[in-house]
A and B are shown apart, each in its own frame.
Chain A
Amino acid sequence: MRPKNYPLKKLGRFFKRVFIIILFLLLWEISAKFGLLNAQILSSPSEIAINLFQSLFAGNLLIDVVESVKRVLVGFSFGSLIGILFALILGLNRRSQEYFGFIIEILRPIPPIAWIPIAILWFGVGDAPAYFLVGLGAFFPAFTNTIKAIKKIELNYVYQALSLGATKFIIFKKILIPLVLPDLMTGLRVGLGVGWIIVITAEMVGAQSGLGYMIQLNRIMLQTPNVIAGMVVIGIIGLSLSLLINFIENLIIPWQRRITNIEKGNR
C-alpha cells in the first residue's frame, strides 16, 4: 500500500531533482562567464539556449527535425513490418525456417552502421540510404522478438481455443497476436532507438539535411553553441519517440500494466 502522503512525497522528489539541475546549469554558466571554460569547446547554457531559440524561430531547425523524424519513421515502419512478416512466416512454418533462418542469423551480427558505405554506394545521398539503414536497424529487433514470442506460445491456449470452437483465423487474431504483442513492442522500442541512432549517424556522412547533418556542419563552421543545441534537440526527440512507444503499448496491451500492478502489490 502507498502511504497517504504519497503525492506530496513525489512532488518533493521532483523539486529536489529540478533544484539539482538548476544548480548544475548555474555552475556551468558561472564557469563559462569567468572564462574557466573554453567557449570554442563548451559554450555556456545561456548561449546554447539563445542559439536554440534563434534557429527555432528562423525555421531552419524545424526543417532538419522534420527531415530526420521523417527518415526514422518511414525506415522504421518498413523495417519493422518486414521483420514481423518474416517472423510470422518463419515462426509458423518450420521448413521455411530451415531454409531462410540461417541467412538472417548470418546478417544479424553486422551492425547497421557498417552498412553505411554500401548504402551510399547503392542509393546515393539523401533519403533513400537513410530509409534503408534505419529499416535494417529496425528489422532485426522486430524479427527476433516476434519469432521468440511465437515460439514460446503455450500450446495449451491453442488447444483450449480449438475446444471452444475457434477457427485458425480466430486463433491467429485472438491468441497469437495478443501473446506476441508484448515481445513485439519490446522489439519495436529497441528498433526505434536503434533507428534514431542510425539516422543521425547516416546524416553525418551521407545527407544534405537533417539533425545529424546540421550538427556536423556547425562543427565545421565552429558554431559550438549550435552543435550542442542540436544535441539537445536530438535527445528530446529520442525521448519523445520512446514515450510514444510507451503510449501505444499501454493502449494495445492493457492487461500488461495490470499484471505488473499485481506483482508490485504482492511484493
Chain B
Amino acid sequence: MIEMQPLLKINKINMHYESSKGEIRVLKNIAFAVNHGEFLCIIGPNGCGKTTLLHIIAGFLKPSSGTASIKDQIIDSPGPDRPIIMQDLGLFYWMNVWDNVIFGLKIKNKDDNKISKTANLWLNKLGLIGFEKQYPFELSGGMKQKLAIARAFVLDPEMLILDEPFANLDAQTRERMQENIADLAFSTKKTILMVTHSIDEAIFLADRVIVLTERPANIKEIINIPLERPRKSEFRLTEHFLKIKKHIYEVLKLENKEENHVSNKKSL
C-alpha cells in the first residue's frame, strides 16, 4: 500500500434539526474512515439518519458539528468527485439516455470527441447501447439503474455514494445489479459508500459493514468481511455468509428492541 491516508474521513459528526417539537438529534458522534478502493456498506434501522449522513458526505447538508473530508479537503459543497446515486435515481426524465449520461461529462470536459468516447464506453459496459434515444421512463427498472450508474461512473470520480439504489427492484434483477456493481467496483478500483436495507446485499458487496443504531444514529458495530471481491453468487449460500448474516441480524434486532442506545463494539 502506497497511500496510507484514507480517502474519506468522517470526524465526530453530530447533526440536529430545530423543529416545532424542539430539537431533533439525528446523528451522534459518527466517526469512521473509508480507504481507497474500499466498498463500505451502511446498514441501520428505518429513519435512523442514514440518508442524512450520505447527504452530508455528498455536500448537500452541513453537519451541526464535526467534519467530513475527502482527500483531507473538508467537504462543504456537492461535487463531481463524489456523485451520489439517489434512492429514486434522480434520472432527468426530460433528457434521453445519451443526454443523461453526458450531463456531468459535458460540464467537466469540453472536447466533444472525448465526451462521446467516454459515454459510449460506459453505455457499452452497462449494455445500454441502442437505447441512447430512449427516455428514462421508457426503460425497465434494471436499465434505469444502469443508466444512473453509468451517469456517475463516466465522471471517473474519487468515490461513489449510493443511497439504497436497488430498493425498488425485484429480487432477481436486484441480485443481477449487485453482481454488476461488484464487478464494476472491482474492475475500476473505485471507492464506494452505499446505504442499504438488505443485510444480504451488504454482506455480498462490502469489505466492511457499518451498523448504525436507532436515531440519533451512532455506530453500533463495524463488521469486517475479509473475503476477496468480487464474490461469486454462490457465496450467498455458504456457511460463512449465513454466519455473518445471523450476526448482523441479531445486532439489528437487538437494536430495534433496545430503548437505551448502549453501544457495544464487537468484532467478528
Contact = CB atoms under 8 A, between A and B. Distances in A.
Interface in B77-103: 77-80, 82-84, 86, 88, 90, 92-96, 103
B103 A164 contact: yes
Contacts of A156: 86, 88, 90
Interface stretch (A130-138, A171-179, A200-208): A171-179
A68 to B, nearest CB: 36
Given A159-B90, A160-B84, A259 B104 contact: no
Nearest to A263: B137
B138 interface: yes
B94 A170 contact: no
Nearest to B78: A162
Contact of B92 (A167, A175, A262): A175
A163 B94 contact: no
Contacts of B90: 156-157, 159-160
B151 interface: yes
A259 B138 CA distance: 8
Q: For this complex, into which size category does the number of interface residues on chain B fall?
A: 20 to 34
B107 A167 contact: yes
A166 B60 CA distance: 13
Interface string A175-191: 10011000000000000
A263 to B, nearest CB: 10
A167 B79 CA distance: 10
B58 interface: yes
B80 A164 contact: yes
Nearest to B93: A255
B108 interface: yes
A150 to B, nearest CB: 15
B79 A165 contact: yes
Please classify the interface of chain A as helix (H, G, I), strand (E, B), loop, or mixed, using the class held by over half of its residues: helix
Nearest to A178: B94
Contacts, number: 73
A258 interface: yes
A161 interface: yes
Interface residues of A, number: 21
B155 interface: yes
Interface string A128-161: 0000000000000000000000000000110111
B153 to A, nearest CB: 12
A253 B78 CA distance: 29
Given A159-B78, A178-B94, A255-B94, A164 B135 contact: no
Nearest to A262: B137
B176 to A, nearest CB: 24
Contacts of A166: 103-104, 107
B1 to A, nearest CB: 29
Contacts of A259: 93, 135, 137
B167 to A, nearest CB: 15
Given A167-B107, A174-B103, A179-B94, A160 B86 contact: yes
Contacts of B58: 159, 163
B107 A157 contact: no
A259 B104 CA distance: 24
Contacts of A165: 79-80, 83, 104, 107-108, 155
Give 10 closest A-B pairs by Cβ, nearest first. Answer: A165-B80, A160-B90, A164-B104, A162-B78, A178-B94, A165-B107, A163-B78, A163-B84, A255-B94, A163-B83
Interface of A: 156-157, 159-167, 170, 174-175, 178-179, 253, 255, 258-259, 262
7 contacts: A159-B90, A163-B83, A164-B103, A164-B155, A165-B104, A178-B94, A262-B138
